Amino acid sequence: MNILAFDTSTHTSSVALSIQAKIKTVSLTTKGHSSDSILELIHSLLSEAQLSLSHIDVIGFGRGPGSFTGLRIAAALAQGLACAYDIPVVPVSTLQTLAQTAYTNFQQEHVAVAMDARMNQIYWGIFKLNPQGIMEALTPEAVIYPQLAQLENHVWIGVGTGWTEKLAFLQPFLSYCDPQALPEASTLAYLTQWYHAQKLSLPAEKALPIYLRDKVC
């Protein structure tokens, strides 16, 4: 199976191409996103693999939460490519992608994800490994004030740009914290394959972003 996955929810855009489970990735750090720059990354990976978009079986994209502009670009790009080449899509949570990467790196079954949401808020999600090896949300993802974040009495890994001093009161629950962690397209490709195998991929028109709030920041 050939999978194209990309995430533009943060200041770093990440694109991955998975060819028969072998993954190649490329990233770009910018002050802003553009569909042209992401397309360049995509075509670079496809050219290196001597493939075209017609060889892609499924497209995964970071549905959010995250940068409003970045999410709109990712969703529009996924819709456009999927429609043009009749490819199913899998919208994947940015927070779940971060949690899955943390499990891969640290083999810790409980992960708390906090992303900077600006306006003194964070995007918050807590995850636990399921029997299939996938990080599942224990509670609905939300945008909250840091002081409202709660953790159950387990040992947790904390990841994401929202882990600042405002969450210091949760440090006793953590065995490790990585406040620099960003979504990785390689993990997104892995989750895309899993969701597609569960027959949860969608048609192009349903490739929609999830903002968690309706106020642009």
Tens-digit pLDDT profile for residues 130-139: 999 999 999 9
Of 3.30.70.260, 3.50.50.60, 3.30.420.40, 3.40.50.10320, which CATH number belongs to 2-93+183-206?
Answer: 3.30.420.40
pLDDT, average across residues 133-160: 97
How high does pLDDT run on average in the chain?
95
Confidence (pLDDT) at 213: 82
8 A C-beta contact, residue 46 and residue 52: yes
Give me the mean pLDDT over the 125-129 stretch.
Answer: 99
Q: Judging by DSSP bridges, how do beta strands 58-64 and 89-93 pair with one another?
A: parallel
Identical topology for domains 2-93+183-206 and 95-178: yes
Q: How is the chain split into domains, by residue range?
A: 2-93+183-206, 95-178
Question: Confidence band (pLDDT; 50, 70, 90) for 30?
Answer: low
> At 69, is the pLDDT very low, low, confident or very high (cuts 50, 70, 90)?
very high
**Is residue 126 within 8 Å of 151, Cβ to Cβ?**
yes
Residue 44, burial from CB neighbour count under 10 angstroms (0-12, 13-18, 19+): middle
Residue keyed to tokens 């999927």: 82
Read off the pLDDT of residues 18-29 as tens digits, 9 standing for 90 and up: 999 899 999 988
**Helix/strand/coil for 217:** coil
Beta strands in the chain (DSSP E): 2-7, 12-19, 22-29, 58-64, 89-93, 110-118, 121-129, 135-137, 142-144, 156-159, 174-178
Residue 215 pLDDT exceeds 70: no
At 214, is the pLDDT very low, low, confident or very high (cuts 50, 70, 90)?
A: low
Judge residue 47's burial from the number of C-beta atoms within 10 Å of its C-beta, 0-12 exposed, 13-18 middle, 19 or more buried. Answer: exposed
- Residue 200: CB atoms within 10 A of its CB come to 12
Instruction: Name which of 142, 171, 140 is nearest 158 in CA terms.
Output: 171
Is the pLDDT at 94 greater than 90, yes or no?
yes
Model confidence at 56: pLDDT above 90: yes
The pLDDT value recorded for residue 29 is 83
3-state secondary structure at position 58: strand
Residue linked to tokens 């199976």: 1
pLDDT of residue 32: 63
Give the model confidence (pLDDT) of 156-197 as tens digits.
999 999 999 999 999 999 999 999 999 999 999 999 999 999
- pLDDT, residue 217, reads 43
19 vs 209: CA distance, rounded Å: 26
pLDDT in tens, 5-17: 999 999 999 999 9
> 95-178, what's its fold?
Nucleotidyltransferase; domain 5 (3.30.420)
